[in-house]
């Protein structure tokens, strides 16, 4: 039995233009023509069209579909396995994004509403880059620390944020002074400032052992958006992010040495 292009378009759910395109691309050329020259599709053509639409739904390009249909036994299984892996990764990524959206909704619902004026009053030049926040949430989504930090941040009142940001501003002034005065990153002053920052994170957001603090500091060097949450761009100096990162690592090493001495003393 033969079917016109209009009939195939209707029951396959594709446009006539798409069928013409498949024909011109050599992907689906109808098996016959009417006396007037119109395309006529037979049952074998419809089976091929089903295969094309199946692979298109899975996201294959027309060139990839043509290669599969040219030699299904040689190409289909490996192509489908590769697509399955890609789709599984995409599903996982979308699931994480859905979790981020859910968390953002929770924060919006439970957070402290601030007018633009109040936001500037509380946060000053410190701004929260949405793209960085999303990436961070994806990166640490399965971390207990990230979940605790988000929950505690959402519970902070306006006065909490004022105290928090006041502490951060005072600490930042000391950090800038130490850096400008040439204090060594592994000197007592710099390490004490690193320790203050670690305790600040623990006090206001989540428990921050030295190992976690090192990872946070590494982000300061790797991503300017992370460091901008600690020191706004207008106050930054060349090398300051690396200086703070090294001070945090030195402080973590100091903690490790202290634990080792304590354990030795208990033996």
| Confidence (pLDDT) at 42 | 87
pLDDT, one tens digit per residue, over 135-183 is 555 455 556 666 677 677 777 787 888 888 889 999 999 999 999 999 9
Q: Which of 50, 41, 47 is nearest to 23 (CA)?
A: 41
Angle at the Cα of 126 from the Cα atoms of 142 and 207, rounded to 5 degrees: 35
| Confidence (pLDDT) at 81 | 79
Pairing between strand 32-33 and 3-4? unpaired
- Please state the pTM of the whole predicted model: 0.52
- State the DSSP code for 6: H
Burial string for 60-88 (b: 16+ CB within 10 Å, else e) reads: beeebbbbbbeeeeebeeebeeeeeeeee
| Confidence (pLDDT) at 95 | 74
What is the distance between the alpha carbons of residues 210 and 127, in angstroms, rounded to a whole number? 26
pLDDT, one tens digit per residue, over 105-146 is 554 544 555 555 555 554 555 554 444 444 555 455 556 666
Average pLDDT over residues 43-72: 85
Higher-confidence residue of 103 and 233: namely 233
| Confidence (pLDDT) at 39 | 85
CATH architecture of structural domain 127-265: Orthogonal Bundle (1.10)
Domain boundaries of the chain, sorted by first residue: 3-70, 127-265
Average pLDDT over residues 68-72: 77
CATH code of 3-70, in short, is 1.10.1660.10
Is residue 210 predicted with pLDDT exceeding 50?
yes
C-alpha radius of gyration, the chain, whole number: 30
Distances (CA, A) of 171 to 153, 191, 197, 198: 20, 13, 8, 11
Judged by DSSP in three states, 34 sits in coil
Question: What are the residues whose beta carbons fall under 8 Å from the beta carbon of 70, sequence distance 6 or more?
Answer: none
């Amino acid at each position: 039995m033969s079917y016109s292009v209009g009939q195939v378009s209707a029951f396959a759910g594709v446009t006539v233009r798409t069928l013409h395109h498949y024909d011109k691309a050599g992907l689906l050329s109808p098996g016959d023509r009417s006396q007037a020259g119109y395309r006529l599709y037979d049952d074998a053509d419809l089976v091929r069209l089903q295969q094309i639409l199946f692979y298109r739904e899975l996201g294959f390009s027309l060139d990839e579909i043509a290669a599969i249909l040219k030699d299904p036994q040689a190409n289909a299984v490996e192509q489908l396995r590769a697509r399955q892996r890609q789709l599984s990764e995409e599903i996982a990524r979308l699931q994480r994004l859905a979790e981020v959206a859910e968390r953002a909704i929770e924060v919006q619902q439970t957070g402290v509403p601030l007018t633009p004026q109040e936001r500037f009053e509380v946060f000053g030049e410190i701004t929260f880059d949405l793209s960085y926040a999303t990436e961070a949430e994806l990166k640490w989504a399965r971390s207990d620390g990230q979940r605790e930090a988000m929950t505690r941040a959402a519970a902070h009142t306006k006065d909490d944020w004022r105290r928090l940001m006041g502490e951060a501003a005072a600490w930042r002034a000391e950090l800038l002074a130490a850096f400008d005065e040439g204090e060594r990153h592994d000197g007592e002053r710099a390490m004490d400032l690193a320790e203050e920052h670690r305790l600040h994170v623990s006090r206001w957001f989540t428990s921050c052992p030295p190992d976690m603090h090192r990872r946070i500091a590494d982000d300061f060097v790797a991503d300017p958006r992370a460091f901008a949450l600690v020191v706004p761009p207008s106050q930054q100096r060349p090398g300051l992010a690396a200086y703070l990162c090294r001070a945090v690592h030195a402080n973590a090493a100091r903690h490790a040495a202290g634990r080792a001495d304590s354990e030795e003393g208990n033996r």
